[in-house]
Copies of this chain bind each other. A is one copy, B any other.
Amino acid sequence: MKRQITIKDIAQKLGLSTSTVSRALKDHPDISPKTRTAVKELAALLGYRPNRIALNLRNNSTRTIGLIIPEIEHYFFSAIINGIEEIAYKNDYSVMVFQSNESYKREVLNSQAVLTNRVDGVLVSYSKETSDFSHFQKLVDNEIPVVFFDRVTDLVQADQVLADDYQGAFLAVNHLIEKGCRRIAHFAAPQNLQIGKQRLAGYHDALLKHNIPFDHNLVLLADTYEMARKAAHDILRKPNAPDGFFAVNDMSAIAIIKAAKELGKRVPEDVRVVGFENSKSAMFSDPELTTVDQFGFDLGREACQVLLRRLKDDKGDEPFRPVKKVIKTKLVVRNST
């Protein structure tokens, strides 16, 4: 039997990297039309068969999905993991989870580990530190399908599944305004993350809709319990203190409630608070927290389904067309508003 022609053979003959060849075959816009043509002509000449390769890969399947996630302690992420696993195990896949712990360096190690372990596909939510995505591009170049969820990027040609953060934030702030709040503070996430940007945009547009001027003094970076508790103490002591808070996550919202109580303010009478996530802690808090449900479990299920479809599909040499799924969020009203 003749030896199968690989991307490596084409790369060697043309003096290109395997990554360039792989992307050229998929019509990646980063590769010049000239190179794309050269690669495709040689591939045709040598009888390179992407279908056959895909088939080989499938036959060598490890029935394992790699999952790279910033942290697993966070309720939202653990709900996502549970959703992913429900679909994976139903389809006889094991899921191996790697925690980057919000570290770029660890994430690179994790992406090497999923490559070494020849997983069938990879689900990724990247770390807060990550701005270079070449370690994920390397997976794609090695013909391992990648699906980004929650924290997504357009810099890698891969599918995306995410929550509708903008819509959730809009609902939250709109609700505070309807309850009578006029000075609403937003405790935000870093703006290099899509969720940080989208939730701020939703906050901004809800104010706009009700003709409430946007005041940048009311937007603070405070996406952890500790940061939020301190920031809430500071802002609530000022003259003209906020009468409402929209926090980027439940932990920050719970910290705001704590700080308000410590300053002798009543929630929701004096200060109304909305979180984002609908974690278990939202129900344990006193008063119970109004929050935006992100449906992490459903998001995980959807991300895994997108990946499994990718593993089943045999697209041959058709250009890759990324899928983008957006999961709607929902406001859950409780006693904190």
A139 at the interface (CB under 8 A from B): no
Contact of A81 among B79, B85, B99, B225 (CB under 8 A): B99
Q: Which residues in B have their C-beta under 8 angstroms from that of A281?
A: 280-281, 284
Q: By the criterion CB–CB under 8 Å, are B97 and A64 in contact?
A: no
Q: By the criterion CB–CB under 8 Å, are A73 and B82 in contact?
A: yes
Q: By the criterion CB–CB under 8 Å, are A85 and B99 in contact?
A: yes
A286 closest partner in B (C-beta) = B286
A86 closest partner in B (C-beta) = B101
Q: How many copies does the complex hold?
A: 2
Q: Give Cα A299–Cα B298 distance, bound, in whole angstroms.
A: 33
How many residues in A have their beta carbons less than 8 Å from beta carbons of B? 34
Q: List 9 A-B contacts (CB under 8 A).
A: A62-B117, A64-B116, A72-B73, A81-B99, A96-B113, A97-B98, A281-B281, A281-B284, A286-B286
15 further contact pairs, Cβ within 8 A, besides A72-B81, A72-B97: A72-B72, A72-B78, A78-B78, A82-B99, A85-B101, A96-B97, A96-B98, A96-B113, A97-B97, A97-B98, A97-B99, A258-B284, A280-B281, A284-B285, A286-B286
Q: Using a CB–CB distance below 8 Å, which chain A residues touch chain B?
A: 62, 64, 71-73, 75, 78-79, 81-82, 85, 89, 94-99, 101, 106, 109-110, 112-113, 116-117, 225, 254, 258, 280-281, 284-286
